[in-house]
Amino acid sequence: MKTAALLLTLCSLPLAAQSARIHTSVIPTPLPADNLAIYRDFLSGYNNGSGAVLNVANTTEAFLNADPVSDGQKSCLSDAHITQLYSAVVHKFSADAFPADKVKLVDPDAHRGSDPEDAIRKGQSIEDAVRAGFAAGLFTFSEIVFDSTRTHAAFQYSFLCGRLCGNGGTVLYDKLPDDHGKVRWQISKKICGSWIS
């Protein structure tokens, strides 16, 4: 029933998700180690709801906080001392960026999802349609923006599985010592903004 409730939630997608992706040149250099560590940590705790391997776009997208005053992220990013609100640089993930049993890297321009709304109209049960939609959904990372000391970071993500099926948001990370005294990137307790459809 949780998946059915998610499908029936009638929240509209943010404008960034509704508009066409910003097309930029892919930087041929490998991702910096900090960026990859943050992406890996986030995916280790992310669940697309299907139990299937997660389809992840093989390139990042630009970080774009086009209207920080109205969307409430200005204060959130400012509190983390992140002043860079835009990054047009994008990277391509290497084939070994993520565990193959958890993540499948896909070309976002060629990937085709399975919209639960279409499947339900064709007579498929809500549960089966939503499960299939989640399994065929596309997860996308933005580039990561950092504060001047590179101890605070932010990125945007989206998981789209249909017209009324998806989630995303802006996530903050902090570089802090863990329980063993080793410094590593950890997700912030501060919530910077999220959406669900």
pLDDT (tens digit, 9 = 90+) per residue, 68-120?
445 555 667 887 788 777 777 789 999 999 999 999 999 999 998 888 889 88
Confidence of residue 183 (pLDDT cuts 50, 70, 90): very high
Q: Which two tokens stand for residue 51?
A: 């139990």
In three-state secondary structure terms, 116 is helix
Whether 81 maps to a domain, the answer reads yes
Whether 15 maps to a domain, the answer reads no
Q: What is the pTM assigned to this prediction?
A: 0.79
pLDDT (tens digit, 9 = 90+) per residue, 161-174?
988 889 999 999 99
In three-state secondary structure terms, 69 is helix
Residue 82 near residue 145, CB atoms below 8 Å: yes
pLDDT of res. 84: 76
How many structural domains does the chain have? 1
Residue 130 near residue 3, CB atoms below 8 Å: yes
pLDDT of res. 187: 94
pLDDT of res. 119: 87
Whether 118 maps to a domain, the answer reads yes
Q: Which two tokens stand for residue 193?
A: 């903004």
Residue 56 near residue 134, CB atoms below 8 Å: no
pLDDT of res. 77: 83
Whether 88 maps to a domain, the answer reads yes
pLDDT of res. 18: 34
Select from 121, 111, 100, 102 the least CA-distant residue to 52. 102
Whether 16 maps to a domain, the answer reads no
Q: Which domain holds residue 111?
A: 2-10+21-196
